[in-house]
């Protein structure tokens, strides 16, 4: 088993990170490799994937990272993706189901194709990934799965119909997976980011008014950084989280700690 030294406690572990070429996924790839794991980066941004592999192998050693093209909403591509990890590294200890897309639209205006696309990338992908990874982890005697859900799956947001549905389902699916596979020594947890500065949210946050209004609602008064999600993923993927499974953890600057009611002492002029 890997040592618990802070810099190398994932040594010997092999991870697969979907959507690993951007934002939270890329930060997770770097965090896991920084702690000794070897990582298969999966995604659809092939040039970015190749560039990351070159850079990470130059910095951390030959073969510490590889890239596989996989559209995670397509069952056959996910099967090939998991097979590629086994072929390359001979094992799979950590699966991070991170790939995802956002989408606005109220129900009457939402095309069925939009709904299916969001559910396909954000939810079906987790089923597909787990379907092929769990038998491999079982054969090895265990593993850790981390699903990147969202606070929009813990409660709902305006105009986020399909996204909220996909992330809410991802959360309860995480619990179901955790129950079914605890006896296989496979732990399954979900991380629920709040608003994090990544390419997904760049356009939203580019408007100063949005950034200000949004930050004002967050107790820590700012958006998060991808690295702040990646550190929790790394912890959940490691033996330090050995008694955690089925947990749904917000990383949101305190946003979901708030009911949404106004600051009454402030409104009443008491403070």
Ligand X SMILES: NC(=O)c1ccc[n+]([C@@H]2O[C@H](COP(=O)([O-])OP(=O)(O)OC[C@H]3O[C@@H](n4cnc5c(N)ncnc54)[C@H](O)[C@@H]3O)[C@@H](O)[C@H]2O)c1
**10 in contact with ligand X (CB under 6 A):** no
Q: Which residue from 124, 119, 94, 103 is spatially nearest to 20, judged by alpha carbons?
A: 94
- Which x/- pattern, by CB under 6 A, does the window 218-257 give for ligand X? ----------------------------------------
- Going by their DSSP bridges, the two strands 94-97 and 65-69 should be labelled as unpaired
Q: Looking at residues 77 to 106 of the shown chain, list those that interact with ligand X (rule: CB under 6 A).
A: 98-101
Of 70 and 130, the one with the shorter C-beta distance to ligand X is 70
The one among 142, 159, 199, 219 contacting ligand X by CB under 6 A:
199
Binding mask 113-152 for ligand X (x = CB under 6 A): --------x--------------------------x-x--
CB of 111 to ligand X, least distance (A): 17
As measured in angstroms, the least distance from the Cβ of 51 to ligand X is: 13
Of 248, 260, 254, 258, the residue nearest 154 (C-alpha): 248
* Rounded-to-integer distance, Cα 205 and Cα 198, Å: 9
List the alpha helices (DSSP H) in the chain. 23-34, 46-60, 75-89, 112-119, 125-140, 161-181, 202-206, 208-217, 226-237, 264-267
Q: Three-state DSSP class for 94? A: strand
Q: Do 72 and 42 contact (CB within 8 A), yes or no?
A: yes
> C-beta of 23: minimal distance to ligand X in Å?
2
Tell me which stretch binds ligand X (CB under 6 A): 17-25, 55-63, 178-186, 211-219: 17-25
CA dihedral (111, 79, 41, 99) in degrees, to 10, reads: 20
Q: Under rule CB under 6 A, how many of the chain's residues touch ligand X?
A: 28
Contacts of 67 (CB under 8 A, 6+ apart): 21, 40, 41, 42, 43, 46, 49, 50, 52, 53
Our CB check for ligand X shows the closer of 23 and 168 to be: 23
Looking at beta carbons only, is 56 or 99 nearer to ligand X? 99
First vs last C-alpha separation in the chain: 54
Which range in 82-90, 131-139, 179-187, 196-204 contacts ligand X by CB under 6 A? 196-204
In the complex, which residues of this chain contact ligand X (CB under 6 A)?
18-19, 21-25, 43-45, 70-73, 98-101, 121, 148, 150, 193, 195-196, 198-201
Active site residues: 163
């Amino acid at each position: 088993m890997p040592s618990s030294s802070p810099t190398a406690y994932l040594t010997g572990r092999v991870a697969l990170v979907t959507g690993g070429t951007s934002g939270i996924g890329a930060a997770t790839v770097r965090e896991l490799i920084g702690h000794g794991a070897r990582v298969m980066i999966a995604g659809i941004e092939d040039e970015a994937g190749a560039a990351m592999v070159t850079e990470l192998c130059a910095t951390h050693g030959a073969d510490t990272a590889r890239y596989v093209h996989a559209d995670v909403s397509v069952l056959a591509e996910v099967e090939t993706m998991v097979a590629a990890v086994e072929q390359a590294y001979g094992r799979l200890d950590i699966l991070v189901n991170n790939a995802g897309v956002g989408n606005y639209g109220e129900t009457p205006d939402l095309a069925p194709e939009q709904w299916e696309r969001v559910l396909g990338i954000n939810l079906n992908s987790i089923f597909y990934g787990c379907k092929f990874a769990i038998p491999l982890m079982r054969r090895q005697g265990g593993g850790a799965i981390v699903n990147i859900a969202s606070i929009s799956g813990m409660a709902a947001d305006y105009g986020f119909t399909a996204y909220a549905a996909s992330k809410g389902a991802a959360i309860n699916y995480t619990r179901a997976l955790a129950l079914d596979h605890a006896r296989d020594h496979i732990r399954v947890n979900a991380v629920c980011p709040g608003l994090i500065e990544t390419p997904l949210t760049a356009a939203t946050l580019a408007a100063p008014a949005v950034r200000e209004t949004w930050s004002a609602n967050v107790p820590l008064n700012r958006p998060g950084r991808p690295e702040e999600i990646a550190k929790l993923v790394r912890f959940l993927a490691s033996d330090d989280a050995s008694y955690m499974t089925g947990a749904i953890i917000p990383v949101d600057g305190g946003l979901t700690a708030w009911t949404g009611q106004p600051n009454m002492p402030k409104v009443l002029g008491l403070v």
